[in-house]
């Protein structure tokens, strides 16, 4: 744990249908490992990660990310609204091999998040399981189109299993948050 007080604290929600790989993405980002077994999240997983980021002038910015990995199951939908309060941004995840997870992203998750948070909405859309090319049901272009439709700051396809683009997804989100806060990054 760093002794220095953080320059920024960001509460970030990681949301999407069950089993799209939210917990696996976080494990890949934080622990650099892949969780082979699926274990549904009960309530919420909370992780605090300290990240230092250099701005264009080389000044170091210390950010505390409080990641809220929120259960995707329907039975948690009532309490979930309380979890969104105070969120600075969201990573909204779908599974490229399951069309329903993509449809729910637009119809449920984006709506749920925007209705229960205040201020400017910053979110990134993630199409996970990009390594499963043979089983792909959602095309990259569909994700790109959705990004434009809902005004997300980014769309990126990831593979928590292989580690592809995971770091980039989180770092892009932090960069957007720092820009919003007026930092030159």
Partner 1 sequence: MAKRKATGKTEKVKQVVFSALLEALNEIIGQDGKMSVIRFAGLGTKYAQVRPSLITSLPKTDLIRLTTAMNRLLGYGSKALLRETGRKFAIYLHPYGYSLETLIEKMKKWIDGTWDITIKKEKDGFKITVNNDPLFSASYIWAGFFEVAAANSSPDGAKFVASEVVSKREQPSTTFELKKQ
Give the count of beta carbons closer than 10 Å to the beta carbon of residue 3: 4
CB 66 to partner 1: min, Å: 6
- Per CB under 8 A, does 71 bind partner 1? yes
Query: CA-CA distances (angstroms) from residue 143 to 26, 101, 106, 146?
Result: 21, 12, 11, 5
Residue from 15, 87, 153, 169 in contact with partner 1 (CB under 8 A): 87
Based on CB atoms, which residue is closest to partner 1, 71 or 91? 71
CB within 8 A of 147, min separation 6: which ones? 125, 154, 155
Token pair belonging to 50: 């300290």
- Per CB under 8 A, does 78 bind partner 1? no
CB 138 to partner 1: min, Å: 28
Residue from 30, 61, 62, 66 in contact with partner 1 (CB under 8 A): 66
Cα–Cα distance, 182 to 84 (Å, whole number):
23
Residue from 32, 33, 48, 55 in contact with partner 1 (CB under 8 A): 48
Based on CB atoms, which residue is closest to partner 1, 44 or 181? 44
* Cβ atoms 99, 138 nearer than 8 A: yes
Cα–Cα distance, 160 to 68 (Å, whole number):
17
- Per CB under 8 A, does 8 bind partner 1? no
Residues that bind partner 1 (CB under 8 A): 9, 11, 41-48, 64, 66, 71, 76, 79, 82-83, 85-88
């Amino acid at each position: 744990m760093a002794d220095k007080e953080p320059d920024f604290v960001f509460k970030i929600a990681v949301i999407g249908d069950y089993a799209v790989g939210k917990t696996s993405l976080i494990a890949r980002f934080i622990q650099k490992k892949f969780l082979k077994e699926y274990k549904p999240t009960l309530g919420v997983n909370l992780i605090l990660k300290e990240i230092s980021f250099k701005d264009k002038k080389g000044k170091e910015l210390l950010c505390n990310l409080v990641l809220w990995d929120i259960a995707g199951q329907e039975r948690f939908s009532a309490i979930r609204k309380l979890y969104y309060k105070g969120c600075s941004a969201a990573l909204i995840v779908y599974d490229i091999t399951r069309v329903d997870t993509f449809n729910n992203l637009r119809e449920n998750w984006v709506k749920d998040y925007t209705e229960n948070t205040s201020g400017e909405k910053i979110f990134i859309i993630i199409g996970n399981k990009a390594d499963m090319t043979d089983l792909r049901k959602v095309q990259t272009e569909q994700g790109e189109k959705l990004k434009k439709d809902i005004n997300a700051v980014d769309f990126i396809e990831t593979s928590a299993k292989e580690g592809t683009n995971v770091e980039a997804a989180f770092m892009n989100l932090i960069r957007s948050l720092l820009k919003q806060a007026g930092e030159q990054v």
